[in-house]
Structure 1
Amino acid sequence: MNCRFSWLQGSDPRVATCRGRLQTRRCQLNQEINKELRLRAGAENLFKATTNRKLRETVALELSFVNSNLQLLKEQLAELNSSVELYQNDSKECVMPMIPLGLKETKEIDFREPFKDFILEHYSENAATYEDPISDFMDMRQAMRTPVRSTAGVALLFKYYNQLYYIERRFFPPDRSLGVYFEWFDSLTGVPSCQRTVAFEKACVLFNIAGIYTQIGARQERKTCAGLDGAVDALLRAAGTLRYIHENFTNAPSVDLAADTLLVLGALMTSQARECLFEKLQLQAREACSGRDRELRDDLDMCLDLAQESAQLAHTYQQLYDKMQTEGVFNYVPYSWVSLVHVKTEFYKALAHQYCATGLLHATVPQHARDRLSALYSNDRDCTLNGVSPTSKYEEEFDHLALGRAHLLESLALYEEALRLQRMCRELRGKEALSRVVTSQRERASRERTSLRDEPEFAELLDAPAILPSSKFQLALTPPDFAQHRVEDLFKSLGPIAIFSAKRHWSAPRLVQLQKQTEFRRESKRSEKRDRSEDNSTYYNQTRDDKYIDRVTKQNGVYISSFDLDYHPKLLEDKLANGARRQRRRELRRVASEATVGGDGFGFSVRGDAPVMVAGIEPNSLADIGGMREGDFIISINDVDVKWSSHEEVVQLIQGAGDSLTLRLATPMDKSSTKSTPLASRESNSTAGSMSAASSSSSERSPRRAPSWNPFRRSRREPNPHDMLVYR
């Protein structure tokens, strides 16, 4: 393993902890479920295809055995999901157990051949040079399959997720398949799902991030404020991650990533975060009362506040229980989870009545207790007492002791209901921590009732009104923070990802070699031009008519003109005007070229950064003759890779190249950047310089257009073969 990826060594060996062994057993069950599903699919196909009666009976019997095995395996997986006590803290004090999520399992994938083929085909690079980045990515994914249940494991998953951003854009084109399949097992049912999109891989990784957060939250020490703060933070991060999956990933092939399931799981984590916050309020209330040398029961306001917070928590779990009863969720969520949520609903209802009873029975100022009734009880129709609002009834005849006894009896009845629900679920019967928490609260309520010695024997039996759910706290989900775990693109050497990605297309890089003219060739060029001008001086002195008559001859009855269009007076005037315009354009281009690549250089200008592009080509320059095109990407300069270089760095390399410049260029093939291209090869008798180029372009530019005005252009009437003149 490379030193820069030393953080990958923190993967869980799956045998060091109870949670690791539990995950190992989950992996084995997933494999067995996958095997039975394949057997069932084959048996069903055979049953449909065969017409032999005896064979159909044999296959039907085999299908019954396979379905029985599948049912047993799914029950074992549900039992693993209900093993919540293994994820709790090792503290001896019993607390209400939390429900964590198990991690999704995946199979190992070999990316070597698909990535190498794509690098060679799409990027035209040597695939052998990218063996180390491919191995690093595979090591990262292998470590991601078994993360530790801590912040280090979360960081590993986030780094892998961020690396998938680059992998998807580098190697997964939107118009075709790469041949890589991502297979993951459902965390709730164990059924495998397979897709070719990286989005499925991302969603599964995020689900495992949420799963680790839930396990971290369940593992916290919940008898301290710091531990409860850590649990609330972890559970809210898990809920935020699940919501992020629901909002950004659709059409999931597995049940645990379905929209309804994600909403239920997110609500479960939010409810458990509120439960931890309520436990922190209980702890702070006890600490505040002990600091004032008082009991919690002596503080009426604090007891009633805790009663309403507990009623709010019970209301939250009741809503969650109703969501779990829906058809799309009930068949997949473990039954032990549904039962535990139901138990918690009744338990916190009982706790709300117990806090209310404690405050009313020990109230020293009855008038103050009467003032709090309007905020404590609800005026809904469901909460009326014999058709009369509880608030109005107890404003007329207020007996806080009788009302406190009614709440205490209601709490005892609800505690008994919670214990009954626990006994009804086979998976929850053996949960000792759950039994001890509910039993201890019931015994405390029983002792409170026993202490009421002044209770009259024939007192009026009252029904305790429902407590209005209310909370002073509002929870905010924490979305995943991807920027906290930045990674470096493993395939950065392929170029900037905005240009060199799987969805962009460009030609294969071609080699262009430019050689400037020497001083000796420049002088010979100037002298040759002077000689030519002197030889043609007499020609220019001839009259227009003589020159025209001398240059038209008759051969075989056909008039043939050997006239050179460049020397015709009218055409010469037009050529001079066009030459002046071209000269002005050439000057402007030369100014741009000098500002970019300097001097009387190679005849091209550049613009942009990473990668630098060819901005303009001077006509009849070395760049034009060499096959350079406007919009070309400069890949390398004199064997120096410049895909990530800035504009200034490229200019310095070109200016420092001297008389010889070697470029590797690539032409973008997108419609928006497609331009006319020069001829692949062009003959030239000029002695301005020498050039050799290797080009692999697939298109050529059309030849240069003739002058717009032609003195020999005929009118648009039908041609007469008898008076036709042929010119050359």
Structure 2
Amino acid sequence: MILEERPDGAGAGEESPRLQGCDSLMQMQCGQLQSRRARIHQQIDKELQMRTGAENLYRATSNNRVRETVALELSYVNSNLQLLKEELEELSGGVDPGQHGSEAVTVPMIPLGLKETKELDWSTPLKELISVHFGEDGASYEAEIRELEALRQAMRTPSRNEAGLELLTAYYNQLCFLDARFLTPARSLGLFFHWYDSLTGVPAQQRALAFEKGSVLFNIGALHTQIGARQNRSCAEGAHRAVEAFQRAAGTFSLLRENFSHAPSPDMSPASLCALEQLMMAQAQECVFEGLSPPASMAPQDCLAQLRLAQEAAQVAAEYRLVHQTMAQPPVHDYMPVSWTALVHVKAEYFRSLAHYHVAMALCDGSPATEGELPTHEQVFLQPPTSCKPQGPVLPQEREERRQLGKAHLKRAILGQEEALRLHALCRVLREVDLLRAVVAQTLQRSLAKYAELDREDDFCETAEAPDIQPKTHQKPEARTPRLSQGKGPDIFHRLGPLSVFSAKNRWRLVGPIHLTRGEGGFGLTLRGDSPVLIAAVIPGSQAAAAGLKEGDYIVSVNGQPCRWWRHAEVVAELKAAGEAGASLQVVSVLPSSRLPTLGDRRPALLGPRGLLSSQREHGCKTPASTWASPRPLLSWSRKAQQGKPGGCSQPRAPVKPALPSSSKCPGWL
């Protein structure tokens, strides 16, 4: 850009007043944004201090009334923290909470807050276990332990997008690897996992790694709800993404409910998870309705389209009525936020009234149905509850009769919208949600305007009762299991070796180094399998037998090179390249297990494909039935058989290699 000389003789390097004004405005906006962030951080610190004090009192007192009061205070603090963090996330993402991305006004959704946790020190128990059981220097795994701790620290504050989901999924998969490698039915890591309840804010802790896994899985579902609530549902693409997110959330809560038991916190109890699953399916159904053609762009004469919208709205209302019934019953009613129950009730009334409004529009503005379309149109209606038999066609063809019936539906729509506004005003929290009130009030104004248009001064006929609307949808949402494989990476502790051998469920002895030379007939052994390679057979009297190698040993080192993850061909090539000088080997001999799982074992374990604990299945044992009930049972994997059930829990596990692979891997004697 060429700077022109100004008449006042000012230097070319000086900025124009217009540019200075733009910079000043930008600096002022940035300053306001920073001030808002600082104020939110101060409020978050204040809430955290209040939560710490309430938590200490909750744990110290044994008075039930005091604990109930403190639990109520914790729920308030938890709710405030969730709102503040959402506001901070919107500011960090460059979205002004007071602005909306589109002119269309949509009903607010219910996002679920994430469970919070405290810092955790993995170093001491993992180093001790690696040294004692695996026979290696635990200090040499400092890098792996730091990587695990960094991953856990990062997943405590995930971003509200797909990257946050991948982060949570990656940590969940590492927990599954830890479960398979380091835990047995008789051994735990000895760590206390602290998590705060998402609904009540009450702290809970357990030694079971399954509690950590279940809490992370819960956060995956909660993050799906936040992603769905943040979508711009005024367009079809945004509504479709919201449907997908809420379906994933429902599938996550269903997976958690079916595979975890003995939850120590209310948000992970079966009753709560069932209610949350129903809520997410209802919100997905609402997004399906919003993804249809907006009524404003629809021709009023399109009778069939209006009737389809009416049935879709009736379907949403039916879903929310079921959710409200579940939330209103104990024990869910005791810890579900009151504002959620009120919002669900408001939505049930609002969408039921919306169904009657669309039917009224179809009757009053739409053209009469032809003889072939009449049965299809009449399927929209249900007979009034007082009538036992249908009295002729439900959908009238005469213009005056259509006006009278449309007026009756508008009357029910107006009554329902007024009831929704009344319920909205009863809840203190909902009174602050101006967007919800604006949506219902806007629809009420449209209904009143249409009713005034249909009303006549000489209309002395009493309006008949409008029948109910038959719920129906063209797209029934289904719960979808979370994509746990998208964040699956390599096992952080893969240096310890393949899980098929090197896990806490097995015992082994390290032998070597053994110097193996080639005789006239070769080494005198045959190898099979991959990662690690198995000594399948040893010829009696051969060089391998003289060196002390035995059938069933696994080769873990060749000439000083670790080969636990080598393939069969790589080990064979290394031995053949040794020549007459021979090779130096290290092997491990798997020892028989010292004890089998007992009936008293209630530790969490990884489920196998048939629902049995993997360690028990290896020993040919059936799943033991518990003979006693702990007063505070651990959260554990459900031991119900999942065989043949679609959408079951798919746990990431390292592939278990069979002891003797197929003979195609056998190259012959070496």
Give the TM-score, by structure 1 length. Answer: 0.70
Q: Percent of counterpart pairs with the same letter?
A: 37
**What is residue 498 of structure 1 aligned with on the other side?**
500
Q: CA deviation at 1:599?
A: 4.5
Amino acid at match of 2:78: L
Amino acid at match of 2:157: T
- CA distance, structure 2, for counterparts of residue 370 and residue 19 of structure 1: 59
- CA distance, structure 2, for counterparts of residue 282 and residue 195 of structure 1: 50
Q: Which of 316-325 and 637-646 deviates more?
A: 637-646
- The 8 Å contact of residues 339 and 421 in structure 1, kept in 2 or not, is answered as yes
- The 8 Å contact of residues 33 and 190 in structure 1, kept in 2 or not, is answered as no
Q: CA deviation at 1:243?
A: 1.3
- CA distance, structure 2, for counterparts of residue 235 and residue 365 of structure 1: 38
Q: CA deviation at 1:319?
A: 1.0
SS, match of residue 469 in structure 2: coil
- The 8 Å contact of residues 243 and 284 in structure 2, kept in 1 or not, is answered as yes
Give the unaligned 5+ runs of structure 2: 1-33, 91-96, 595-670
2:362 paired with 1:331: no
Match of 2:451 among 449, 469, 477: 449
- CA distance, structure 2, for counterparts of residue 364 and residue 669 of structure 1: 83
Distance 1:77 1:609, change over 3 A: closer
- CA distance, structure 1, for counterparts of residue 480 and residue 138 of structure 2: 41
2:557 paired with 1:636: yes
2:125 paired with 1:203: no
- The 8 Å contact of residues 384 and 390 in structure 1, kept in 2 or not, is answered as no
CA RMSD of aligned residues (A): 3.0
- Residues 178-224 of structure 1 show CA distances to partners (whole Å, capped at 9, x for unaligned) of 21222211101112222223222221111111111111111111222
SS, match of residue 421 in structure 2: helix
- Residues 157-188 of structure 1 show CA distances to partners (whole Å, capped at 9, x for unaligned) of 11111122222222223321221222211101
SS, match of residue 606 in structure 1: strand
- CA distance, structure 2, for counterparts of residue 85 and residue 615 of structure 1: 59
- CA distance, structure 2, for counterparts of residue 343 and residue 185 of structure 1: 29
**In terms of Rg, which structure is larger?**
1
Q: Point out the structure with the larger helix share.
A: 1
Q: CA deviation at 1:394?
A: 6.5
SS, match of residue 448 in structure 2: helix
The equivalences for 1:281-300 within 5 A come to 281-283=292-294, 286-287=296-297, 289=298, 296-300=299-303
**What is residue 193 of structure 1 aligned with on the other side?**
204
- CA distance, structure 2, for counterparts of residue 83 and residue 342 of structure 1: 25
- CA distance, structure 1, for counterparts of residue 38 and residue 324 of structure 2: 32
Between 1 and 2, higher relative CO (CA 8 Å, sep ≥ 6) is seen in: 2
2:506 paired with 1:485: no
- Residues 519-558 of structure 1 show CA distances to partners (whole Å, capped at 9, x for unaligned) of xxxxxxxxxxxxxxxxxxxxxxxxxxxxxxxxxxxxxxxx
- The 8 Å contact of residues 512 and 627 in structure 1, kept in 2 or not, is answered as no
Q: CA deviation at 1:385?
A: 4.5
2:583 paired with 1:661: yes
The equivalences for 1:360-379 within 5 A come to 360-365=363-368, 371=375, 374-379=378-383
**What is residue 703 of structure 1 aligned with on the other side?**
none
- Residues 113-148 of structure 1 show CA distances to partners (whole Å, capped at 9, x for unaligned) of 111111111111122221111111110011011111
- CA distance, structure 1, for counterparts of residue 376 and residue 543 of structure 2: 93
Match of 1:34 among 28, 44, 55: 55
Match of 2:234 among 208, 218, 223: 223
- The 8 Å contact of residues 131 and 137 in structure 2, kept in 1 or not, is answered as yes
**What is residue 640 of structure 2 aligned with on the other side?**
none
2:192 paired with 1:177: no
Distance 1:404 1:128, change over 3 A: same
2:531 paired with 1:610: yes
- Residues 287-344 of structure 1 show CA distances to partners (whole Å, capped at 9, x for unaligned) of 4x3xxxxxx3222111111111111111111111111122121111101000000000
Distance 1:474 1:188, change over 3 A: same
- CA distance, structure 2, for counterparts of residue 137 and residue 69 of structure 1: 34
Give the unaligned 5+ runs of structure 1: 1-12, 45-62, 290-295, 517-596, 673-728
SS, match of residue 177 in structure 1: coil
- CA distance, structure 2, for counterparts of residue 458 and residue 84 of structure 1: 58
Amino acid at match of 2:573: Q
- The 8 Å contact of residues 506 and 593 in structure 2, kept in 1 or not, is answered as no
Equivalent residues, number: 547
- The 8 Å contact of residues 419 and 435 in structure 1, kept in 2 or not, is answered as yes
Match of 2:416 among 389, 414, 417: 414
- CA distance, structure 2, for counterparts of residue 621 and residue 366 of structure 1: 94
- The 8 Å contact of residues 79 and 427 in structure 1, kept in 2 or not, is answered as no
- The 8 Å contact of residues 285 and 476 in structure 2, kept in 1 or not, is answered as no
Amino acid at match of 1:627: G
Match of 1:117 among 128, 137, 145: 128
- The 8 Å contact of residues 598 and 655 in structure 1, kept in 2 or not, is answered as no
2:655 paired with 1:645: no
- The 8 Å contact of residues 408 and 445 in structure 1, kept in 2 or not, is answered as yes
Q: CA deviation at 1:622?
A: 4.2
- The 8 Å contact of residues 312 and 472 in structure 2, kept in 1 or not, is answered as yes
2:359 paired with 1:359: no
- The 8 Å contact of residues 407 and 463 in structure 2, kept in 1 or not, is answered as no
Q: CA deviation at 1:396?
A: 11
Q: CA deviation at 1:79?
A: 5.8
Q: CA deviation at 1:17?
A: 11
Distance 1:80 1:315, change over 3 A: farther
- Residues 209-249 of structure 1 show CA distances to partners (whole Å, capped at 9, x for unaligned) of 11111111111112222211221111111111111112222
Give the TM-score, by structure 2 length. Answer: 0.75
**What is residue 321 of structure 2 aligned with on the other side?**
318
Amino acid at match of 1:277: V
2:94 paired with 1:90: no
The equivalences for 1:489-568 within 5 A come to 489-507=491-509, 509-514=510-515
